[in-house]
């Protein structure tokens, strides 16, 4: 386990709103190794973003709180770390890019100002050096006229360009871990492909690990080494990317796979998983997927199943694979 970069154990992040407890992340475990790309997939509302924000220490205040669990980064505990120390890690060792490139950059500061900000903060560079570095980074993410771009404002760039800027900004301090929360969801299909390619590129150059969050299994297939499937604030399946596409075990994963459009099977009606994600303040008593599961059994609604290792590199949370 010495090559584990990030170890998340029993993470529980809840929101306390009025008299409700919203269990957005409810006992999540996973590990990211050095150089690995791990994807978290799941429908909207399954707790992916809150998991990533928990790692960043940016759970929305004042309602949200990590109530339990541990997040170890390079062996150091992040949960409960004072803000000052966390600020030395954020943007420096762990960087993050977000879903909405259109609104994720500050409209009143130049691109150059926003890229150099982390450099100046973390790396003690002089202004001129930081500026030089910003230009290099922008070239690296594909801006031919980087020298001009640093003087421009976000509104002068397209969504795809802004996401490139976000990537340049995130990579500025050479982070060990890049968290990308749905980095291509808001973009056109052709731009999506370009951004994914850029991320692969950047990952190779910087030799960093990536935690990629997406609801798109197509993106997973292109990018990830390993996959976590999340549902109702929990991991329901975890395995390698090959396994997940060839031998999915959890009925939810099979449902997700059945709903990706395939080019070969022209215009066949997509199978959708019936029903919706349960709301995080009121989960079913047993298996959280039971109300939507086509394979539901009597015991499924009694008590929740555990995430169990069913093969050397395959964990699943489902009674179908648990011997009673």
Partner 1 sequence: MYTYILRRLFLFIPVLFGVTVFVFLVMNIIPGDIASIILGTEATPELKEQLRQEFGLNLPLYQQYWNWISGVFVGDFGNSLRTGAPILPEMLNRFSLTFELTIFAAIISWMIAIPMGILAAVKRNTKGDIGIRFVSLLGVSIPNFALATLLILILSLFFNYYPPVGYVGFLEDPRRNLEILLIPAIVLGTSMAGSLMRMTRSSILEILGQDFIRTAQAKGISQKMVLFKHALRNAIIPVLTIIGMQIGYLLGGTIIVEQIFSLPGLGQMVLTGINQRDFPVVQGTILFIATIFVTVNLIVDILYSYLDPRISYD
Ligand X SMILES: Nc1ncnc2c1ncn2[C@@H]1O[C@H](COP(=O)(O)OP(=O)(O)O)[C@@H](O)[C@H]1O
Among 13, 46, 49, 92, binds Mg ion (CB under 5 A): 49
245 vs 120: CA distance, rounded Å: 43
Least CB distance to partner 1 at residue 293 (A): 35
Cβ-Cβ contacts under 8 Å for 34 (sequence gap 6 or more): 3, 4, 5, 176, 209
Among 297, 307, 308, 310, binds ligand SF4 (CB under 6 A): 297
Least CB distance to ligand SF4 at residue 68 (A): 23
By the rule CB under 6 A, 308 interacts with ligand SF4: no
**Residue with structure tokens 């609604």?**
301
Among 37, 46, 184, 192, binds ligand X (CB under 6 A): 46
Handedness of CA 88, 90, 91, 92 (dihedral sign): positive
By the rule CB under 6 A, 63 interacts with ligand X: yes
Q: Could you give the 3-state DSSP secondary structure of residue 139? A: helix
Residue 17 partner contact from Mg ion, ligand X, ligand SF4, none using kind-dependent CB cut-offs of 5 to 8 Å? ligand X
Nearer to ligand X, 172 or 192 (CB): 192
Nearer to ligand SF4, 206 or 321 (CB): 321
Least CB distance to ligand X at residue 20 (A): 9
By the rule CB under 8 A, 104 interacts with partner 1: yes
Q: How far is CA 181 from CA 66, 95, 121, 213, 264, in A?
A: 19, 11, 24, 5, 29
By the rule CB under 8 A, 49 interacts with partner 1: no
Least CB distance to partner 1 at residue 22 (A): 18
What distance separates the 2 farthest-apart alpha carbons in the chain? Answer: 67
By the rule CB under 6 A, 91 interacts with ligand X: no
Site string for partner 1, 121-140 (x = CB under 8 A): xx------------------
Rounded-to-5 percentages of helix, strand, coil across the chain: 35, 25, 40
Q: Which of residues 52-91 bind partner 1 (CB under 8 A)?
A: 56, 58, 62, 83, 86-91
By the rule CB under 6 A, 305 interacts with ligand SF4: yes
Query: Regarding beta strands 234-240 and 314-316, do their DSSP bridges make them parallel or antiparallel, or are they unpaired?
Result: antiparallel
- Per the structure block, which two tokens stand in for 129? 């050096």
- Per the structure block, which two tokens stand in for 136? 């290099």
242 vs 288: CA distance, rounded Å: 26
**Binding-site residue total for partner 1 (CB under 8 A)?**
30
298 φ, ψ (degrees, to nearest 5): -55, -45
Rounded (5°) CA angle 310-209-306:
25
Q: Could you give the 3-state DSSP secondary structure of residue 222? A: helix
Site string for partner 1, 211-250 (x = CB under 8 A): ----------------------------------------
Contacts with partner 1, residue ranges (CB under 8 A): 56, 58, 62, 83, 86-92, 95-96, 98, 100, 103-109, 117-118, 121-122, 153, 155, 166, 169
């Amino acid at each position: 386990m010495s090559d584990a970069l990030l170890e998340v154990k029993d993470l529980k992040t809840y929101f306390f709103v009025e008299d409700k407890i919203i269990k957005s992340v409810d006992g999540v475990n996973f590990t990211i190794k050095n150089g690995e790309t791990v994807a978290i997939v799941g429908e909207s509302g399954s707790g992916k973003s809150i998991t990533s924000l928990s790692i960043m220490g940016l759970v929305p205040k004042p309602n949200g709180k990590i109530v339990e669990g541990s997040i170890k980064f390079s062996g150091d505990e992040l949960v409960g770390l004072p803000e000052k120390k966390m600020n030395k890690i954020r943007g420096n060792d762990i960087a993050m890019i977000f879903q909405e490139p259109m609104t994720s950059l500050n409209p009143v500061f130049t691109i150059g100002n926003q890229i150099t900000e982390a450099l100046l903060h973390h790396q003690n560079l002089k202004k001129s050096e930081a500026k030089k570095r910003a230009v290099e980074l922008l070239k690296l993410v594909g801006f031919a006229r980087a020298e001009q771009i640093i003087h421009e404002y976000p509104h002068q760039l397209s969504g795809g360009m802004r996401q490139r800027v976000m990537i340049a900004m995130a990579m500025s301090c050479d982070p060990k871990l890049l968290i990308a929360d749905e980095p291509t969801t808001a973009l056109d299909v052709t731009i999506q492909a370009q951004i994914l390619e850029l991320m692969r590129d950047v990952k190779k150059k910087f030799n960093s690990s990536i935690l990629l969050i997406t609801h798109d299994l197509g993106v997973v297939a292109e990018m990830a080494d390993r996959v976590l499937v999340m549902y109702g604030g929990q991991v329901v399946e975890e395995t390698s990317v090959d396994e997940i596409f060839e031998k999915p075990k959890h009925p939810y994963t099979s449902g997700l796979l059945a709903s990706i459009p395939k080019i070969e099977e022209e215009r066949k009606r997509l199978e959708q998983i019936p029903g919706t994600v349960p709301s995080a303040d009121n989960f079913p008593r047993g298996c959280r997927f039971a109300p939507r599961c086509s394979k539901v059994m009597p015991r499924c609604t009694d008590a929740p199943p555990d995430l169990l290792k069913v093969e050397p590199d395959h964990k699943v949370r489902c009674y179908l694979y648990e011997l009673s």
